[in-house]
Amino acid sequence: MDPFSPLHYLQNPIWVFDVDNKKILWANDKSLPLWEAASIDELLERDLGQDMSAAAGATLLEYQHAFKSNKTIKTWWRFNPKKITKNMLCLFSGIPLDDGRIAMLVEVIADESSLRRDLAFSDCSNLALLFNDVGRFISANDAFASHFSNKLSDLSEFIGDTDIAKKWLEDAKKNNHFKCSRLCWTGQRHHWFDIEAKWLSDNSQLLLQLVNVTKDKEKLNQEKYNADHDYLTGLMNRRGVSAALKASHHHLSHYSLLFLDLDGFKLVNDSYGHAAGDKLLRAVAIRLLNIVKDRGLVARFGGDEFIIQIEKRNYTTLAYFANQIIETLNRPFHIKDIGELSISCSIGTSNYPDDANNFDTLVTQADMAMHRAKQRGRNCYYPFLQEMADALYRKMTLRHHLSQAIENNDFELYYQPIIDLNTQQLKGFEALIRWYDESLGQVSPAEFIPLAEETGQIVPLGLWILHSACQQLAYWTQHYQQPFIISINLSRAQLQPTLAQTIEQMIFQYNINPSLLALEITESAMLQDYCETKPCLDALAAMGIELYLDDFGTGYSSLSQLHDLPISTVKLDQSFVQGEHTSSKVIIEATKAICEKLNLKIVAEGVETRAQLDYINQCGFDYCQGYFFSKPMPVDELEQKYFHPKLINILA
């Protein structure tokens, strides 16, 4: 009876291979074309060990050991019947023979033509090398020889290190096998292999079964390169330069970090498009590389920000090096299809380890210094100073506490009197916000108002001020029969289309006369986005609310626009009132003349002395306020001082 008769029902090419004698014991008809055989009998007569390499033979013996543990092996196998190379995806398993030995059952799953998806794997698996007990090269299997070479001399040549080759032999003899990954020399070029080393104790030989993972390694290397580099300029990105510094000797040397930001880059993008901006960034990167050369590292942080790292031994002075960069970037750039573009840059610097001992902190410090350079007029450099970090920490602390204060309404309104110089009586009060924090103490409005404007917190804060002032005005109007106006400062961010409706609702809610309400707005707030601002101001004026132009003389007034705005009163900035130079008096008199021609009332701010008051009176000002009369006061103090059954002469 045929012991292999059940195998006849399998549809794939299949045969039984005697590993010990290198012969086929049984095969089905479908295997004949693969072996280029005319008949089963002719195939069974072949001696397949005649052309088999020692490496292939050793591999098959290892497979045979695996079959004893009921393991199966799926791999590509290369063989050459009648000098015709065949590459088949096979499933190897053990099958017992009558004499107690284990043969190898081979089932062909697919060939190159029918399984293209796995073809690439056939080029990198089923590779084998055989070495003797001292590392001399014995043999390579056909798969290795056909793809690489068959001309290796020894193990040390393959792995590129004599000492490591000796250690491999020792480890294999001691532990029978080990696995690793390594870049190896194949006789033609280097390739990455996943290696499984097995010690064949019967023959004192080292068998290396290899999988070529070069493509995977190259892909990983490319992915790592992409992760560490900016796609647009080819420079390192933040991650890349950080990793480069940590991996190199730079942490042992003193170096400087330059944080560079292009001035006016947004204008280039807005005017010519992002494609032009990208070309400009690439041109900037080239110039920076040409300046730095091999003296340091250049990276792009995204947008129009760049980082340069340079060791102190590679420049004379940091100021000279920074100015050299500025001068280089000041030269016009010729951009294809556009022409010449001119830009400038602002640079901040920090130093390792004097300013900080880690990269991230150095970047933060240099960034702070760069923003200081921007504030100083741009196109310059500025070094990091500790006071910048202190200011930033203060700012962060303030922002956190300010958010909590807005949520809890931890503010108070103080009121400063405004005096009518014609009647020498009280015209009204300016509402001024005050903030006392338990841990920070009294925080100046000059500090937290700009922060609130920068963060957008000014909108909820301004809404609280409006509600509080309107509520106070309603109370005073009801309890004291004294007509006066309360003026409230508005931020540019509050001049939204819905503002008039919001204030109208407050007037209705608190039942106040809109003519007793004044809104103070700075020149810059009124004139910035003039076309959007004017409808809002017109709507407020139409309700009967007075509009004051605050801090006059410190902004960028356009008289033609001011004439077209519904302003009733101008408030001259205190810097002119308190100024001792002749120019201050000229400005005071000119302001009075302009307001008179435009039929505007005028308030002098910051009056502190009798001399200042007398001069303001002499110039014919309508109103004034300042410490000469009163500092801003809380409600209870103000009521005690100013609210009487009959209003007395303020100036008496």
For residue 274, the domain's CATH number is: 3.30.70.270
One domain for residues 93 and 206: no
- Band (pLDDT 50/70/90 cuts) for residue 366 is very high
Q: Which residue has the higher pLDDT, 43 or 10?
A: 43
- Write down the pLDDT at residue 290: 93
DSSP assignment letter at 543: T
| Cβ atoms 448, 434 nearer than 8 A | no
- Write down the pLDDT at residue 500: 93
Count of structural domains, the chain: 4
Q: Which of 9, 26, 203 is nearest to 103 (CA)?
A: 26
- Write down the pLDDT at residue 405: 94
Any domain includes 175: yes
One domain for residues 635 and 509: yes
Mean pLDDT of 240-248: 81
Residue 634 structural domain = 418-430+458-643
One domain for residues 182 and 268: no
Give me the DSSP letters along 185-247: E-SSSEEEEEEEEEEETTTTEEEEEEEE-HHHHHHHHHHHHHHHB-TTT--B-HHHHHHHHHH
- Write down the pLDDT at residue 480: 84
Residue 650 has pLDDT above 60, yes or no: no
Instruction: Look up residue 122 and give its amino acid.
Output: S
Q: Mind listing the pLDDT tens digit for each residue in 246-264?
A: 776 555 689 999 999 999 8
One domain for residues 526 and 600: yes
| Residue 309, strand partner residues | 257, 297
| Residue 210, strand partner residues | 127, 195
Distance CA 348, CA 352 (A): 14
- Write down the pLDDT at residue 614: 92
Any domain includes 119: no
- Write down the pLDDT at residue 122: 43
Any domain includes 397: no
Mean pLDDT of 325-354: 93
- Write down the pLDDT at residue 248: 64
- Write down the pLDDT at residue 449: 94
**For the CA atoms of 68, 69, 70, 75, what is the dihedral angle to 10 degrees?**
-90
Give me the DSSP letters along 244-308: HHHHSGGGGS-EEEEEEEEETHHHHHHHH-HHHHHHHHHHHHHHHHHHHGGGEEEEEEETTEEEE
What average pLDDT is seen over the chain?
87
- Write down the pLDDT at residue 538: 92
Q: Mind listing the pLDDT tens digit for each residue in 477-499?
A: 888 877 889 999 999 889 888 99
* % the chain with pLDDT above 90: 47
Residue 369 has pLDDT above 70, yes or no: yes
Residue 364 has pLDDT above 80, yes or no: yes
One domain for residues 557 and 584: yes
Residue 609 has pLDDT above 80, yes or no: yes
Mean pLDDT of 161-185: 89
For strands 381-383 and 412-420, give the pairing. unpaired
- Write down the pLDDT at residue 628: 94
CATH of the domain at 54: 3.30.450.20
Q: Mind listing the pLDDT tens digit for each residue in 496-552?
A: 889 999 999 999 999 999 999 999 988 777 777 777 788 899 999 999 999 998 877
